[in-house]
């Protein structure tokens, strides 16, 4: 609202994107994943969602560490992209009355989030080289997000043959 | 007839304990002094709207209370000046970190320091919340419902309005009500705003402001000097320093100013609070107490709880569910200034004159949930320069706008921004204060509903000025007030305190300030905070009589 700070160098952009990553991780851990856990019907999803919630909390801590490594205070800045995904999810999930169909939709929504995160962290990794900040832990985050995505795809493959006609 | 002197509060003698000819408190020589090693009944952290009101009520019921305040004990005659720059000491300007997509500037528009708290420098608007504010989730599907209703607070609103006292026209919005003092006369700046609003079909009313309109005990009628935001020099504008503290001191409350509470001590076995550690003159002290009320407002209350870690509460006191510091809210307070050919001299009156709550509740045709209020406000020259520079005027143009100051008047909005979990106070990982305590970091981002609300409200005000025949307009986007951070709720997993302000899991820890608000409405928070403290005091006096308080002590020992 106030006049936005002007971003004029790679470090400013890096910190801005880092703040977005922190907001995403914290929001996923505090609000989104617990919500998905409540919404999910299939046993197939319970364990991967719980595991990813634990990972996500660690991701938030890693992002905070990178803030500190950049000599900056960890702050979170809202991500319009995640907000949009959340709104879209909330609007449609209520309308889906068939539990298996809802789970499938939930998987697609979660997968979108994983893609968003992967893109963000890969950008941060590239930018970090210019800024001279060690973001080694982000490679592990990307690996974990990819793994979460693969788990979702597996669950989706299991669910698809059992859908109602 | 003596205006306003007809009804006086029954259980608060503060207006009579002041002096007609001097501003500072007159009964300080009679102030109690409690030993630190003996537990008092209650320690109150923070001498602002919440803390002083609570202490005054409980002191009348016989509680022995110590209030610890980080800032100084103000004497308006000695300390306050009619000067924007010189008044800087009444704002909390210690280091705080801010961040988020829409960071909030901290200081004069949201944080006070010293005995009297932020009300020493608030404009004076004291509207009530509406009944709808307590059931936002049920009505509008956003935010949360309060664990209490308007009905629980109505009697408290009325009591506090009489004590301040509030002056204004009969109020048609929310729960319609009247005010103890008649409306103040309004000046030229408000007349043009009112005229413009009338042409747009918007109703405005005079008040509600907690500024005397008539002699009130030994408090004089307002002299319309202006500079209310720099501290009232004549004891007309209400602040707990003059409305509640004189009576509190008379009933045995001790105030220790310049005392920064650094942590709340907890008995590891029982999980109960045993007292507070505070720093005064560079020395650490421990005040033992049977119960503790934290009243440090939306930033410092969460900060104190988060800094009070222990073996039993490793994530901070009352923070087992990661709720402390979350859902901090500010109000979107965009101001639009308008230029008129006649001289308006907006500084020549208290800044709050007329306001409207016509847009307070949700109207689905607007495309967003909840609403906003509209109020006159009068920036002094430095504030005015901020308006002008916000639109990019500089150099010669800035000088011309400054020369033209007397032709301008300003309307502001207060938009109800929604509570969001990530708008929160955390502890800084980089910066500590002089006492070695991590300072607060406040992240704030607007959601789409907030942005739509602010945009709509701004357009309404611009239309008012167009209708009033303004020759030129300037807009400044800003925020005001701070509430939330330790909200009250139905359950421990989504709130910090219960409906009785008692922290979940810590039975003798209470929070009584703006941080407990689950939603904020479009109302300035001062009256709401005082009313909540009034209600809490009533609950404590009725439920926890002497026997009950003795049992707290025996359980602790």
pLDDT attached to residue B106 = 86
Residue A3 CA: distances (Å) to CA of A78, B69, B101, B413, B490: 16, 35, 11, 18, 38
A76·B443 Cβ contact <8 A: yes
Check A78 against B447: CB less than 8 A apart. yes
Residues of A in contact with B100 (CB under 8 A): 19, 23, 75-78
Residue from B9, B48, B31 nearest B219 by CA: B9
Determine contact, residues A49/A148, Cβ cutoff 8 Å: no
Nearest to B50, CA basis, from B527, B539, B543: B527
Instruction: Order the strands of the B509-511 sheet from edge to edge.
Output: B253-256, B65-68, B42-45, B292-294, B509-511
According to DSSP, the β-strands at B335-339 and B326-332 are unpaired
Q: How many Å apart are CA B323 and CA B33, to the nearest integer?
A: 36
| Residue B426 pLDDT > 60 | yes
In the predicted model, what is the mean pLDDT of residues B274-290?
96
Contact A1, B479 (CB under 8 A): yes
Higher pLDDT pick, A165 / B14: B14
Q: Which of A30, A67, A73 sits opposite B421 (nearest CB)?
A: A30
Provide the pLDDT for residue B207. Answer: 85
Q: Tell me what pLDDT residue B557 has.
A: 37
B478 to chain A, minimum CA–CA distance in Å?
A: 6
**Gap between the Cα atoms of B305 and B289, Å rounded:** 17
Q: How many CB pairs under 8 A join A and B?
A: 70
Instruction: Determine, for residues A83 and B100 on separate chains, whether the beta-carbon distance falls below 8 Å.
Output: no
**Do the Cβ atoms of B206 and B354 come closer than 8 Å?**
yes
Query: How many structural domains are present in chain B?
Result: 1
In a mutational test of the A interface, the residue from B96, B100, B101 whose CB has the highest number of chain A CBs within 10 Å is: B101
Whether pLDDT at A2 is above 70: no
Q: Do A75 and B332 touch (CB under 8 A)?
A: no
Mean pLDDT score across all residues of chain B = 92
pLDDT tens for A32-91 read 999 999 998 888 888 889 999 999 999 999 999 999 999 999 999 999 999 999 999 999
Put simply, whether A71 touches B (Cβ < 8 Å) is yes
Cα B58 to Cα B416: distance, rounded to the nearest angstrom: 32
Distance from CA of A64 to the nearest CA of B (A): 9
Q: Tokens 């309060």: give the residue.
A: B146
* Contact yes or no for B49/B529 (Cβ under 8 A): yes
Chain B, nearest residue to A61 by Cα: B429
Assigned domain for B338 exists? yes
- Lookup: tokens for B488: 């009250």
Instruction: Please determine, for residue B292, whether its predicted confidence score (pLDDT) is greater than 90.
Output: yes
**Of residues B348 and B39, which shows the higher confidence score?**
B39
pLDDT exceeds 50 at position B28 = yes
| B443 interface with A at CB cutoff 8 Å | yes
The whole domain housing B84 covers 29-556
Q: What is the per-residue pLDDT for A163? A: 81
Which whole number is the average pLDDT over A97-107?
A: 91
Query: Which range (B94-108, B254-268, B446-460) has the least confidence?
Result: B94-108
Asked whether B213 and B222 are in contact (CB, 8 A), the reply is yes
pLDDT on residue B553 = 46
pLDDT at B547 (0 to 100): 44
Please report where in the chains the tokens 């005082």 appear, as a residue. Answer: B530
Over residues B234-245, the pLDDT tens digits come to: 999 999 999 999
CATH code, residues A11-71+79-162: 1.20.1260.10
Instruction: Considering only the beta carbons, identify the residue of B99, B390, B448 that sits closest to A77.
Output: B99
Residues of A in contact with B454 (CB under 8 A): 1
Give residue A4's pLDDT.
Answer: 52
Residue B555 reports pLDDT greater than 80? no
Question: Which chain B residues have a beta carbon less than 8 Å from that of A2?
Answer: 102-103, 105, 477-478
The percentage of residues in chain B with a pLDDT greater than 90, rounded to a whole number, is: 82
Q: What is the CATH number of the domain that holds B43?
A: 3.50.50.60
Angle, helices A80-93/A99-131, rounded to nearest 10 degrees? 180
Nearest by CB: A1 against B446, B447, B448: B446
Query: What gap in Å lies between CA B235 and CA B218, rounded to an integer?
Result: 9
Q: Which residues does chain A have within 8 Å of residue B476's beta carbon, measured at their own beta carbons?
A: none
Question: Using an 8 Å Cβ cutoff, are B499 and B148 in contact?
Answer: yes
Q: What is the phi-psi region of residue B201: left when phi exceeds 0, alpha when psi lies from -120 to 50, beta otherwise?
A: left
Q: How confident is the model at residue A5 (pLDDT cuts 50, 70, 90)?
A: low
Q: Where are the domains of chain A?
A: 11-71+79-162
Is pLDDT at B158 greater than 80 in this prediction?
Answer: yes
Question: What per-residue string of b and e applies to A73-110 under the rule 16 or more CB within 10 Å gives b?
Answer: bbbbbbbeebbebbeebeeeeeeeeeeeebbbbbbebb
* Digit-coded pLDDT (tens) for B481-523: 999 999 999 999 999 999 999 999 999 999 999 999 999 999 9
Which chain A residues contact residue B99 at CB under 8 A? 19, 73, 75-77
What pLDDT, on a 0 to 100 scale, did the predictor assign at position B552?
Answer: 47
Q: Is residue B17 part of a domain?
A: no
User: Residue B4 falls within a domain, yes or no?
Assistant: no
Q: What residue of B is the nearest CA neighbor of A18?
A: B100
Whole-number percent of chain B with pLDDT over 70? 96
In a domain, B23, yes or no: no
pLDDT at B360 over 80: yes
What is the C-alpha separation between B90 and B514, in angstroms, rounded? 18
ipTM of the complex: 0.85
């Amino acid at each position: 609202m106030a006049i936005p700070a002007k971003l004029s160098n790679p470090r400013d952009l890096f910190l801005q994107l880092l703040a977005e990553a922190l907001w995403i991780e914290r929001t996923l851990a505090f609000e989104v994943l617990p919500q998905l856990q409540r919404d999910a019907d299939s046993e197939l999803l319970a364990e991967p969602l719980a595991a990813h919630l634990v990972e996500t909390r660690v991701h938030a801590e890693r992002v905070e560490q990178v803030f500190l490594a950049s000599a900056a205070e960890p702050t979170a800045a809202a991500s319009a992209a995640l907000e949009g995904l959340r709104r879209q999810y909330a609007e449609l999930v209520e309308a889906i009355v068939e539990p298996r169909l809802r789970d499938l939709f939930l998987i697609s929504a979660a997968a979108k989030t994983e893609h968003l995160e992967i893109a963000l962290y890969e950008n941060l990794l590239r930018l970090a080289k210019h800024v001279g900040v060690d973001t080694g832990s982000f490679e592990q985050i990307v690996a974990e997000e990819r793994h979460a995505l693969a788990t979702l795809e597996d669950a989706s493959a299991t669910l698809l043959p059992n859908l109602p006609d | 007839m003596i205006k306003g002197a007809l009804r006086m509060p029954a259980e608060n003698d503060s207006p009579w304990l002041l002096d007609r000819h001097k501003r500072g408190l007159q009964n300080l020589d009679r102030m109690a002094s409690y030993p630190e090693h003996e537990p008092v009944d209650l320690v109150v952290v923070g001498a602002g709207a919440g803390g002083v009101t609570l202490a005054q009520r409980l002191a009348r019921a016989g509680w022995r209370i110590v209030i610890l305040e980080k800032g100084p004990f103000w004497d308006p005659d000695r300390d306050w000046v009619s000067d924007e720059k010189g008044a800087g000491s009444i704002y909390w300007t210690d280091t705080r970190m801010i961040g988020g997509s829409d960071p909030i500037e901290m200081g004069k528009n949201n944080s006070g320091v010293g005995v009297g708290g932020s009300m020493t420098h608030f404009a004076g608007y004291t509207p009530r919340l509406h009944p709808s504010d307590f059931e936002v989730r049920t009505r509008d599907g956003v935010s949360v419902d309060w664990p209490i209703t308007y009905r629980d607070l109505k009697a408290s609103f009325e009591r506090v309005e009489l004590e301040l006292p509030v002056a204004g026209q009969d109020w048609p919005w929310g729960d319609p009500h009247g005010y103890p003092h008649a409306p103040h006369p309004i000046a030229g700046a408000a007349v043009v705003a009112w005229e413009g609003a009338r042409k747009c079909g918007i109703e405005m009313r005079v008040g509600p402001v907690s500024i005397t309109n008539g002699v009130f005990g030994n408090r004089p009628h307002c002299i319309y000097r202006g500079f209310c935001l720099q501290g009232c020099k004549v004891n007309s504008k209400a602040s707990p320093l003059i409305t509640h503290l004189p009576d509190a001191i008379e009933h045995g409350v001790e105030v220790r100013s310049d005392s920064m509470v650094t942590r709340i001590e907890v008995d590891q076995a029982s999980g109960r609070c045993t007292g507070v550690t505070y720093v005064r003159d560079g020395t650490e002290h421990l005040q033992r107490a049977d119960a503790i009320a934290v009243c440090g407002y939306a930033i410092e209350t969460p900060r104190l709880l988060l800094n009070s870690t222990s073996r039993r509460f490793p994530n901070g006191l009352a923070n087992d569910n990661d709720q402390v510091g979350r859902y901090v809210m500010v109000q979107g307070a965009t101001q639009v200034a308008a230029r008129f050919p006649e001289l308006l001299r907006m500084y020549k009156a208290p800044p709050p004159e007329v306001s409207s709550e016509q847009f307070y509740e949700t109207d689905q045709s607007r495309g967003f949930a909840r609403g906003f209020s509209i109020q006159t406000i009068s920036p002094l020259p430095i504030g005015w320069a901020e308006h002008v520079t916000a639109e990019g005027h500089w150099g010669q143009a800035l000088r011309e706008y400054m020369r033209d100051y007397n032709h301008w008047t300003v309307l502001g909005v207060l938009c109800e921004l929604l509570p969001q979990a990530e708008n929160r106070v955390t502890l800084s990982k980089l910066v500590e204060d002089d006492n070695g305590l991590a300072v607060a970091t406040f992240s704030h981002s607007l959601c789409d509903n907030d942005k739509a609300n602010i945009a709509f409200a701004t357009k309404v005000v611009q239309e008012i000025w167009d209708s009033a025949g303004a020759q030129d307009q300037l807009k400044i986007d800003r925020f005001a007030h701070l509430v939330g951070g330790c909200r009250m709720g139905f359950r421990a997993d989504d709130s910090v305190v219960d409906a009785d302000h008692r922290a979940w899991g810590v039975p003798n820890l209470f929070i009584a300030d703006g941080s407990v608000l689950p939603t904020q409405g479009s109302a300035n928070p001062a009256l709401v905070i005082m009313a909540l403290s009034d209600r809490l005091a009533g609950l404590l006096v009725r439920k926890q009589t002497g026997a009950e308080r003795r049992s707290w002590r025996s359980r602790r020992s």
